Structure 1
Amino acid sequence: MALHTWLAFLLACWVISLSPGAGAIASMAAGLRHGFWHGYWNAIGLQVGLALQIAIVAAGVGALLATSQLAFTLIKWFGVAYLVYLAIRQWQAPPMDLTAASGQAVTRPLALVVRGFLVNASNPKAVVFMLAVLPQFVDPQKPLLTQYLIIGATMVTVDLIVMAGYTGLAARVLRLLRTARQQRITNRVFASLFIGAAALLATVRRAVV
């Protein structure tokens, strides 16, 4: 991959990652609930899901989602259902005792990794989007595997940095939430954001080709 092509792709990665979406909401919710270091396991899961999406596009399977209404619809509604599930969990989350062991982990790291993975993996719009965007940065005359490895490493690295920012920002907010009422309000705000993300995903339609 030529340097100027990679720099253009790097810029695109920052724009894509910084755009608020389900991943950003999940990262902030994890940081708010668990603090930065424990909550960041969610971001690791997001990257596993992102890597899977890139692999799907590289393997050409993304074309199936772009052309198959059934495959697209099944994955889309799974994603909608999962975001609604996260919204319910966030809404019902009990206030934490921040004066006693505020850094105590209540969710296992693996559970947060799986949660982040499902948020990204259940979004067919992202696969179709990458199917439309990534080939523009790929030179078909050169080894494809190497190029997709560079693309994947770039996207994952940028997204890890951005999600660290979202997680850390929410974790700092955690220190300001001293009362149960404040925590309930914040949890319900994030629950509403998850519902909003689910509603947006529900409106996504497969592009006619």
Structure 2
Amino acid sequence: MSLHLWLGFLAATLVVALSPGPGAVLSMSVGLRHGYRHALAAILGLQTALLLQLSLVALGLGALLAASENAFLAVKLAGAAYLVWLGVQKWRSPVGEEGASPMDEALKSGFYRQGILVNLGNPKAIVFIAALVPQFIDPAAPKAIQFLVIGITMFSIDVAVMSGYALLAGRFRNRVRDRRAVVLQNRMFGAIFVGAGCLLAGASRH
């Protein structure tokens, strides 16, 4: 991959990463409630799914998902259902008098898995990758090395952007420790997750 192609891909990746989506919502939600250390687990889960999706594209399977209406629909509905479930769990999360939730410790162990499932449940992501990445592949150069460079670039940019979202949200963490603020935060992010799930359920392949 030439420097010119790589810079073009870098710019495209940055624009996509900065666009708000379920991954950004998850990063901000965890960063605000639990701090950056736990948000990083969710962010690494998002990247695990992202690299898996890129691997499928490299193997030519991304185009199959884009072409198969049934496969796209199945992944889309599963992803939408998971986002709605996350939203309902967030909305209903019990809060103690001091703002602490009995579910907090259990939730902390599952942020990495949540990150994976949030990204894997979005079929438009792999369709987008399948449409974007080939434009920056030089057919005259070894593809394996190019996909490696692309993977490292996507991973680095997305980690940086999601970390920015989480750290920004974390700056307000001390202001949402009382019970009323925690309840409001839970319901706000719960509603956003449910809304994201509904939007995904209505999304098309194009």
TM superposition score normalised by structure 2: 0.93
CA shift at 1:38, angstroms?
1.9
Per-residue CA deviation, residues 61-86 of structure 1 (Å, 9 max, x unaligned), is 01111111111000000000000011
Partner of 2:201: 202
Task: Give the superposed CA RMSD.
Answer: 1.8
- 8 Å Cα contact 2:58-2:147 kept in structure 1: yes
Partner of 2:165: 166
- 8 Å Cα contact 2:84-2:198 kept in structure 1: no
Q: What residue identity is the alignment partner of 1:86?
A: L
TM superposition score normalised by structure 1: 0.92
Instruction: Name segments (4+ residues, structure 1) moved above 4 Å.
Output: 96-100
Of 76-85 and 33-42, more deviation after overlay is shown by: 33-42
Of 41-50 and 197-206, more deviation after overlay is shown by: 197-206
Unmatched 5+ stretches in structure 1: none
Partner of 2:150: 151
CA shift at 1:98, angstroms?
6.3
Unmatched 5+ stretches in structure 2: none
Partner of 1:132: 131
Q: 2:183 matched to 1:184?
A: yes
Partner of 2:65: 65
**2-side partners of 1:129 and 1:57: how far apart?**
10
- 8 Å Cα contact 1:138-1:147 kept in structure 2: yes
- 8 Å Cα contact 1:45-1:115 kept in structure 2: yes
SS in 1 for 2:105: coil
- 8 Å Cα contact 1:33-1:39 kept in structure 2: no
Query: How many pairs were matched up?
Result: 204
Query: 1:10-159 to 2 correspondence within 5 Å?
Result: 10-95=10-95, 106-107=105-106, 110-159=109-158
The 3 A distance-change label for structure 1 pair 12 and 106 is same
Of 72-81 and 37-46, more deviation after overlay is shown by: 37-46
Partner of 2:5: 5
